[in-house]
Amino acid sequence: MLTAEIVDAIGGLTAHVKTYAATLPSIVHLTVVPYGVKPTTEAADNYEGIVSRTQHQSAGTPYKALNESLICSLEAFEQGNLIGTVQALLAVIDHLERMHRDQEIEVRRQDEKRLAEYRVALRKVLPGNKPELEETGGS
């Protein structure tokens, strides 16, 4: 498995998270919060497919250390836990960056840029991360 392949997988998972986040209402009633608003079965299956492929391809490579976080992201995604999904994917990105810093893997400049873009995209979907709403606050 190459770094570019794991970055592609993170990109695919990030796309699923963004699509799912776009379907969520801007205000979720407290009665729904513990259970979340779950993604469609098709979205969950596609997400699981990416995680499964990545697990199989990473066997015997330094990237196998990412599998636990990927499984956590899958479980959170299936439950409709947007925050848990994003946190797990951010942990994957953090781990990749540590592996690169420790020279365990080689990351091309373009892959570094893509990881940074995915980090920004994931943070944007988190609840409460709407900078445009800050201007509407009372002064």
- Structure confidence by residue, pLDDT tens digits, 8-23: 999 999 999 999 988 8
Q: Where are the domains of the chain?
A: 3-22+37-126
Q: Specify the long-range contacts of residues 122-125, CB closer than 8 Å, at least 24 apart.
A: 122/14, 122/17, 122/86, 122/89, 122/90, 122/93, 123/86, 123/90, 125/17, 125/18, 125/21, 125/82, 125/86
Check if the beta carbon of residue 20 is closer than 8 Å to that of residue 73: no
Q: Give the pLDDT of the chain (139 residues) as one tens digit per residue.
A: 788 999 999 999 999 999 998 888 766 554 555 455 789 999 999 999 999 999 999 999 999 999 999 999 999 999 989 999 999 999 999 999 999 999 999 999 999 999 999 999 999 988 776 554 444 343 3
- Structure confidence by residue, pLDDT tens digits, 93-104: 999 999 999 999
The per-type count for the chain, helices as H runs and strands as E runs, is 6, 0
**Angle (CA) 38 115 15, round 5°:** 30
**pTM of the complete model:** 0.84
DSSP letter assigned to residue 106: -
For residue 1 the two structure tokens come to 């498995």
